[in-house]
Chains A and B, each alone.
Chain A
């Protein structure tokens, strides 16, 4: 098993592997999303406190989870890069950042759309929203740093350090609601008075997997382009059918 993994650590072998995996995750995401949206919008009952509006959580919550999860994964690849200096680690971290930023933006936007009818305002400076906004700026900062440092190797390593410094923010987001409750008696919104209804839970779970599969498909696709761009002088790139036919 160990042998198998290290073999795929080289871009030349990871490129075709990723290519084969993308359709599976892509279609998987589509199917899961269909099921999840059906559960969320057609099957789950109306919430007695919030009516139909609450249904936005089927997009809001999965995207928020993904925004945090992707950051941790990106930081993990960064740590691998700093420890083992493999090219693939840097490329994976680079590929994740834009999708992570998108998820964060989506979480903030759907959060605002949910907030308007529920709290009467698009934005409230509560703990979770503020930390999620900070997360967005962390992602944007990493992307900006990479742009500013032209050279791939230095950019990979600098972004790895930055993402590891920022990873402290993730637990802050996650626990912020509890911590802030000890400081100010803040109210956090729940879909129902008590624990969540079964269909709602299932809907959110399925949508989370859908987002996760989507993220994997997109990141793998992006990492393939990054590989082609970075390794463009390598022999295996020249031998690819899509590269050969472009000439």
Chain B
């Protein structure tokens, strides 16, 4: 009995219609990464705690004058969100790379871009989203009014996915490099993060100045759209380069 030298039907179905394959790949990656994250809840908790502490440090380091804090608040909350994102990036690819799973992911019939998009989504759900949801509570320390907090959260909801997407590219580029997880990754990614920071914090500043946040938030939205389209491909290319 000879075996046909092509793959069994199940595999054909997986990548036959491009759309089906991509969606299935995305689902696989989100489900697996979320399950893994839930099993390491402590690690997630630590990263959120880091965010909370950094935000709390600033009022402690200066005269807690109301207006000063309200002016600084958006910037501090955004920078802390950036740092929290940076801190959690090694989790995205490095562990998979270290145990050999990343190779299997790259060799999967599912499009690598979809698998990476799924991982990034899971990363955002466990990093960016909690940060955005915690922000209103932390903003209390900075005496921000209701409207400002609303714009802050909206900005974070639009901006933190961009941080995860760009972070994925940086994490993939620095895979396996000595000192790669830390400072080099920060050096590569922070310049790309800066526009997000400027528009995100700027949105809140605009609202506090009475100018309305539409322009800033629209630019963030445009940035998110661009990142959603471009970064999975860049990150997939970077992963393949790292595995070569």
21 A–B contacts from the bound complex (CB under 8 Å)? A82-B237, A134-B191, A137-B187, A138-B192, A141-B187, A144-B188, A145-B173, A148-B174, A148-B177, A148-B179, A149-B177, A154-B242, A157-B237, A158-B173, A158-B238, A161-B234, A162-B188, A164-B234, A165-B166, A165-B192, A165-B231
Is A148 a contact partner of B198 (Cβ separation < 8 A)? no
Is B169 a contact partner of A161 (Cβ separation < 8 A)? yes
Is B184 a contact partner of A145 (Cβ separation < 8 A)? yes
Residue of B nearest to A162 (CB): B173
Residues of A within 8 A of B241 (CB): 154, 157-158, 161
- Whether a CB of chain B sits under 8 angstroms from the CB of A246 is no
1/0 per residue A160-195: CB within 8 Å of B? 011011101100100000010011100000000000
Is A144 a contact partner of B206 (Cβ separation < 8 A)? no
- Tell me the interface secondary structure of chain A in the complex: helix
Residues of A within 8 A of B238 (CB): 158, 161
- Whether a CB of chain A sits under 8 angstroms from the CB of B202 is yes
- Whether a CB of chain A sits under 8 angstroms from the CB of B99 is no
B residues 214-236 near A (Cβ < 8 Å) are 215-216, 219, 226, 230-231, 234
- Whether a CB of chain B sits under 8 angstroms from the CB of A140 is yes
Is B180 a contact partner of A148 (Cβ separation < 8 A)? yes
Besides A166-B191, A166-B192, 8 new A-B residue pairs in contact (Cβ under 8 A), listed by A number: A82-B237, A138-B192, A145-B173, A158-B241, A161-B234, A168-B226, A169-B195, A179-B219
Is A138 a contact partner of B230 (Cβ separation < 8 A)? no
Residue of A nearest to B190 (CB): A137
Interface centre among B191, B226, B230 (most CB of A within 10 A): B191
Is B230 a contact partner of A165 (Cβ separation < 8 A)? yes
- Whether a CB of chain A sits under 8 angstroms from the CB of B140 is no
Is B242 a contact partner of A145 (Cβ separation < 8 A)? no
**Distance, CA A142 to CA B237, complexed state (A):** 16
Which residues of B approach A to under 8 Å, CB–CB?
166, 169, 173-174, 177-180, 184, 187-188, 190-192, 194-195, 198, 202, 206, 211, 215-216, 219, 226, 230-231, 234, 237-238, 241-242, 244
Asked whether A141 and B191 contact (CB < 8 A) given A161-B169, A164-B234, the answer is yes
Is A137 a contact partner of B198 (Cβ separation < 8 A)? no
Interface centre among A82, A137, A153, A166 (most CB of B within 10 A): A137
Asked whether A144 and B184 contact (CB < 8 A) given A154-B242, A161-B241, the answer is yes
Residue of B nearest to A82 (CB): B237
Residues of B within 8 A of A118 (CB): none
Is B237 a contact partner of A161 (Cβ separation < 8 A)? yes
Residues of B within 8 A of A158 (CB): 173, 238, 241-242
Residue of B nearest to A147 (CB): B184
**Distance, CA A164 to CA B226, complexed state (A):** 13
The 9 closest A-B pairs by CB, nearest first: A137-B191, A141-B188, A157-B241, A134-B191, A148-B177, A141-B187, A158-B173, A138-B191, A161-B238
Residues of B within 8 A of A130 (CB): 194, 198
Residue of A nearest to B240 (CB): A157
Residues of B within 8 A of A162 (CB): 169, 173, 188
Question: What is the distance, in angstroms, from B212's C-beta to the closest C-beta of chain A?
Answer: 10
Residues of B within 8 A of A157 (CB): 237, 241, 244
Residues of A within 8 A of B188 (CB): 141, 144-145, 162
Residues of B within 8 A of A144 (CB): 184, 187-188
Task: Give the contacting residue for B215; candidates A165, A169, A182; CB below 8 A.
Answer: A182
Interface centre among B178, B187, B188, B198 (most CB of A within 10 A): B188
Question: What is the distance, in angstroms, from A162's C-beta to the closest C-beta of chain B?
Answer: 6
Interface centre among B194, B202, B230, B231 (most CB of A within 10 A): B194
Residue of B nearest to A179 (CB): B219
Asked whether A183 and B178 contact (CB < 8 A) given A137-B190, A141-B187, the answer is no
Residues of B within 8 A of A82 (CB): 237
Residue of A nearest to B209 (CB): A184
Question: What is the distance, in angstroms, from A131's C-beta to the closest C-beta of chain B?
Answer: 8
Is A183 a contact partner of B191 (Cβ separation < 8 A)? no
Residues of A within 8 A of B187 (CB): 137, 140-141, 144
